[in-house]
Amino acid sequence: MENLNIVPYLDIVPYPNSIRFFDSYTNLRAIDRRKSTNIISDEIVNPEAYRLQVKKDRFLITSGGEAGKFYAQQSLLQLVDSAKRNGGRIPLVEIVDEPAFEYRGFMIDSARHMIKVEDIKKLVDAAALLKLNVMHWHLTDDQGWRIEIESYPNLVRVGSVRNGSHFGHDHVDGEYSGYYTKAQLSEIVEYCAARHIRVIPEIDMPGHMIAAIASYPEVSCTGKQLEVESRQGIFPDILCAGKPETYQMIKSVLQEVMEIFPSQDIHIGGDEAPKKRWKECRHCQALIQRYRLNDEEELQGWFMNRIEEFLHENGRRAIVWNEALNSGLLNEGITVQMWMDRKKLSADFANTGGKVIISPFFHYYTDYPYGMTPLNKTYKFDPILRQINHDGADNVLGVEATVWTEHIRDFEKLSYMTYPRFAAVAETGWTFKANKDCEDFNRRLLTLLPMLKARGIEAADPRDWNPNLWRRLCETLGFYRKTLTKDMIFGYK
């Protein structure tokens, strides 16, 4: 970078990777739109890369593909917005930019609480401004099935309705229901595609499936009629891995999922699946015997692999949460999303050629208060984990921020919790580590806030982003007092 003393920083988030400043300014009034150009060139190899030049009387954009063109426009939008607040004054610059990581995601949990289609669009608009390119959509869980599936109509008829929301000590009585129709899901997919965001749907299995089991009890080990969960936590009833009915239902569901979502990647969960029922189930035990598996963890690996093979036959790929690595036998080609991995299996996986997405619980889970996960902590996290070696680093596809919604019932709170922390993850996804600067990021955010607001996102107040130690302690204790129950700590029976 040149002449940093003249124009110290540009008001752009995520920060561009190479900026050449010329010692001069122009004014927006001097820009002639007719002289400005926006072209795609073979000379730029990466379709997400772009060059943006601000000249005396024009803007010139050259990009490697449609995505790069779009990202150049997002940078320019921010530059122009900032210029408008400075009497139209805009520095003469040349930005040459490309992302640090190919996967830059955000996840929303629509199972615990639904987010209205128009509100999802606001999140997508904000994400697009920040050059995020994946929306991971958690559509099913114990507490609700939110995706219309025609071949198994009870999934929404029964599975989308729960009696109360008793999450931790946070109790709301009354029925809670809702699901997205296929038309709505497709509308979101198209909305995202127009903004270079692909939508990765998640059907979480074999755990977190009580809404489906309540709809079709034959897919669980016990076959007992259960109710859609109204409590929070990890529950013992999961899909039976030994019954053909399970595979029939899942394949049928995924068939319809693939019809709605063109994404090559489909997330099939794999997290938090207790093995209690499998240990006691004759169907599951028969499968363990038949395939000479060592234990129920290996049975989960076997299960995930069968589902992955079905996706693969249909030209798709599977993503799983890191617990699926406990089996030690995942098929090649499965991508692992790291969220909570004390054994560091995800790092080993990356070091031995597996692709990983990094979503650390303690840094990127934005449903936790800022006191627990301050903005700067999110920002400073390095997705190339210490245990990942030089070769493994190439297998880190990128980063993803998440928002789980047990304790988030409305969009106002969702906006507050996600922003600006989603922006911190977006900058880590785009800006090379050497070009990141936490203090400057905080400063640039102040100029980003009105742009987020214009997109319907009321971000957290800057005073809340990085609380002092006392507030951190109070917010953390307060959150756990509100949310943790004995059952959540010691497990449900």
Which residues are annotated as catalytic? 141, 208, 272
Name which of 179, 174, 139 is nearest 156 in CA terms: 179
SS3 state at 182: helix
Residue number of the CB closest to ligand ACM reads 271
Using the rule CB under 6 A, is 272 a contact of ligand ACM? Answer: yes
Smallest separation, CB 323 to ligand ACM (Å)? 8
Residues contacting residue 285 through CB under 8 Å, at least 6 positions apart: 242, 278, 279
Smallest separation, CB 402 to ligand ACM (Å)? 7
> Which spans of this chain sit near Zn ion (rule: CB under 5 A)?
221, 240, 242, 281, 283-284
- Alpha carbon distance 483, 126 (integer Å): 29
Please identify which residue in the block is written with the tokens 């984990």. Answer: 385
Residue 125: contacted member of Zn ion, ligand ACM, none (CB under 5 to 8 Å, by partner type): none
Smallest separation, CB 252 to Zn ion (Å)? 19
Using the rule CB under 6 A, is 339 a contact of ligand ACM? Answer: yes
Please identify which residue in the block is written with the tokens 């029976």. Answer: 493
Name which of 52 and 414 has its Cβ closer to ligand ACM: 414
- Tokens representing residue 31 in the block: 């820009």
Name which of 272 and 487 has its Cβ closer to ligand ACM: 272
Name which of 236 and 374 has its Cβ closer to Zn ion: 236
Name which of 242 and 383 has its Cβ closer to ligand ACM: 383
Smallest separation, CB 360 to ligand ACM (Å)? 11
Give the distance, in angstroms, between the CA of residue 175 and the centroid of all CA atoms in the same chain: 28
Using the rule CB under 6 A, is 274 a contact of ligand ACM? Answer: no
Q: Strand pairing partners for 337?
A: 321, 357
Using the rule CB under 6 A, is 233 a contact of ligand ACM? Answer: no
3-state helix, strand, coil in the chain (%, to 5): 40, 20, 40
Q: Which class for 83: exposed (0-12), middle (13-18), buried (19 or more C-beta within 10 A)?
A: buried
Instruction: Please answer whether residues 110 and 441 qualify as being in contact, where contact means their C-beta atoms are separated by less than 8 angstroms.
Output: no
Using the rule CB under 6 A, is 187 a contact of ligand ACM? Answer: no
Mark out the alpha helices in 331-485 (DSSP H runs). Answer: 345-351, 361-364, 375-380, 390-393, 411-418, 421-430, 438-454, 462-465, 469-483
Residue 240: contacted member of Zn ion, ligand ACM, none (CB under 5 to 8 Å, by partner type): Zn ion
Smallest separation, CB 408 to ligand ACM (Å)? 14
- Tokens representing residue 56 in the block: 């005396």
Using the rule CB under 6 A, is 321 a contact of ligand ACM? Answer: yes
Smallest separation, CB 270 to ligand ACM (Å)? 9
Show the CA angle centred on residue 244, arms to residues 240 and 247, nearest 5°: 75
Residue 281: contacted member of Zn ion, ligand ACM, none (CB under 5 to 8 Å, by partner type): Zn ion
**Strand 37-40 to strand 198-205: parallel, antiparallel, or no bridges (unpaired)?**
unpaired
Name which of 74 and 232 has its Cβ closer to ligand ACM: 232
Using the rule CB under 6 A, is 271 a contact of ligand ACM? Answer: yes
Using the rule CB under 6 A, is 488 a contact of ligand ACM? Answer: no
Residue 283: contacted member of ligand ACM, Zn ion, none (CB under 5 to 8 Å, by partner type): Zn ion
- Would you tell me which residues interact with ligand ACM (CB under 6 A)? 271-272, 321, 339
